[in-house]
Amino acid sequence: MNTDRKTLANARRVQLNDRADLARLTVVPQPRTDLVTRLATVPGLVRPGVAHWDLKERLPLHPLSVENAYGDPRLLPDLGAAAVDFARRMGVEVVVGAETGGIPLATAVALAAGLPFAFVRKPGYVGHEDHEPSVRGASVAGRQVLLVDDAVSSGGALEAFADELQSEGAILVGAFTLVDMRDVATTVAPIAQTLPIESVATYLDVLDAATDHGVLDPAVHHLAVDALVNHWSNDDPRWSLLDRAA
């Protein structure tokens, strides 16, 4: 018997007719630590070198190329499945991907949860026409939505996407991201302090796992975390130690 037929047979046995219940049976929960390790060891996601904070003070020392997670088609469904419990708890009716990095993940979440999918275009993106609708896909008006993005840091993007969704009449009940960088952000927008947000890993979790699995050198990691957590100033003499260690 193939997996789908087995799932259907189980669903009948326990008298589950609802599509969402059926989807729940097909989700294979993974210990979150395995998922963090898989994420942190995706080739190119954590770069071994050191870079200082960018001008907006948003990107930390090891800029992550989070979108590289989408280069592994076996990883994406498991990342999506990680949001299913959260979506249920929040009473989500539509999963909305934030352009662009949130869209593949949101697709995986919607499929895993058996929920409708939509995406919201990045506000102010050059090349968009003003008259184009900002939300595409399933209708979000009057429905409880989960916003999915690849990362949250200052919450600036979250705030802008929330405004777009609100203008379409959506009820934003939570956000799901791959990496939560609020742990190293210098400022966090009010919405990112109050909206329920669940993520696969924090930024520091990713660095820890990358170090444990040989992607990052432990000496670099130690100094980098110190710099991040204690917010070294730009003229801190310890930056030269970090440069030498890298």
157 in contact with ligand OMP (CB under 6 A): yes
- Residue 35's region, left for phi above 0, alpha for psi from -120 to 50, else beta, is alpha
The candidate with the shortest Cα–Cα distance to 85, out of 174, 170, 164, is: 174
Report, in Å, the least distance between residue 155 CB and ligand OMP. 5
Q: Which is nearer to ligand OMP, 155 or 174 (CB)?
A: 155
Binding-site size, ligand OMP (CB under 6 A): 14
> Which residues lie closer than 8 Å to 74 by C-beta, 6 or more apart?
none
Binding to ligand OMP in span 37-96, by CB under 6 A: 58-59
98 in contact with ligand OMP (CB under 6 A): yes
* DSSP strands (E only) in the chain: 94-98, 117-120, 135-137, 144-152, 171-180, 197-202
Which of 78, 93, 149, 180 binds ligand OMP (CB under 6 A)? It is 149
Binding to ligand OMP in span 101-120, by CB under 6 A: 101
Using CA atoms, how far apart are residues 188 and 214, in angstroms rounded to an integer? 31
Supply the DSSP symbol for 46.
B
Report, in Å, the least distance between residue 9 CB and ligand OMP. 41
Q: Which is nearer to ligand OMP, 59 or 245 (CB)?
A: 59
- Name 97's bridge partners: 119, 148
Stretch touching ligand OMP by CB under 6 A, among 24-32, 123-131, 149-157, 226-234:
149-157
Using CA atoms, how far apart are residues 228 and 5, in angstroms rounded to an integer? 50
Report, in Å, the least distance between residue 85 CB and ligand OMP. 23
Residues in contact with ligand OMP by the rule CB under 6 A: 58-59, 98, 101, 149-158
